[in-house]
Amino acid sequence: MTPCAVVIGVGAVQGIGGAVCLRSAKAGLHVYVAGRTASKIEQVVAQIIKQGGQASAYVIDSTKPAEVTALFQHIADEQRVPELVVHNVGGNTPSRFLHTEASFYEHLWRTTFLAGALVGQEAVRRMLPQGHGTLIFTGASASLRGKPMFAAFAAGKASLRNFAQSLAREFAGQGLHVAHVVIDGAVDGDRINQLGFGVGRVVRTLIKGASGSLKPEAIAENYWHLHQQPIEAWTHELDLRPFKEKF
């Protein structure tokens, strides 16, 4: 079985998921680029191939157990085994508490926590027989503290953080490195920059300045560093923020 990387929750090339895919491919791994939107993940694959790497696009709704299982079975059928799995699913949608319906809580719970649980289960199942592998969950400042308007998001992200801790404590002794990365700050990616036909980029620059946002490439480099850590010194939780970000 040939080792590979699996990144779930990939959107635009200029984003955390896209950057992690590119960094993993640069290191020589075949990358499974998984996300909801075919056109976006195909652009990531095209960029990887353009740079001399190997990748496959896979459309998935990671909140559905059958689809997550199918992805990992597809990888096994192609005679590959995950060496690195990154769960990067979940958007921080605000909502006024007194006007928030139960369906909104359920939706965010599915994307921020349930998807991570499903991906984690399949990743661990595939990695255990080989006795090594890295599983990284993308967190947020909401993983640590709740803020006004983000009760549903904070609940899901805090659950994912505790889930990651449970996996780390259960499987570290069997060779699996489970890490949780707190993204504390705005990301200089398409999600913000293309908001309002480019207004998002202008507002971000005015508020944060030229170097006041997290660069996706820098985040990806930190993810890759986690994957490369020797077993004698593993990081479980890493928080990343721009130098200007208050904390």
208: domain CATH number is 3.40.50.720
Look at residue 144 and tell me if it is in a domain: yes
Please answer whether residues 107 and 154 qualify as being in contact, where contact means their C-beta atoms are separated by less than 8 angstroms: no
Q: Count Cβ neighbours within 10 Å for each residue of 79-103 and write b for 16 or more, e otherwise.
A: ebbbbbbbbbbbebeebeeeeeeee
Residue 61 domain-assigned? yes
- For residue 165, the one-letter residue type is Q
| Number of structural domains found in the chain | 1
Residue 17 lies in a domain: yes
- What pLDDT was estimated at residue 213? 87
E-assigned strand segments in 66-196: 80-87, 133-140, 176-183
231 domain-assigned: yes
| 148 inside domain | yes
What is the predicted pLDDT for the residue at 39?
Answer: 97
Residue 245 in any domain: the answer is no
Does 246 fall in a domain? no
Domain boundaries, position 41? 2-240
Q: What is the pLDDT along the chain (247 residues), one digit of tens a residue?
A: 999 999 999 999 999 999 999 999 999 999 999 999 999 999 999 999 999 999 999 999 999 999 999 999 999 999 999 999 999 998 788 899 999 999 999 999 999 999 999 999 999 999 999 999 999 999 999 999 999 999 999 999 999 999 999 999 999 999 999 999 999 988 987 565 554 454 445 454 556 666 678 999 999 999 999 999 999 999 999 999 999 888 8
∠ CA 157-37-159, nearest 5°, is: 10
Please report whether residue 218 resides in a domain.
Answer: yes
Give the closest residue to 136 by CA, choosing from 84, 185, 186, 80.
84
Quickly tell me which residue has 């967190």 as its tokens: 139
| Overall pTM > 0.85 | yes
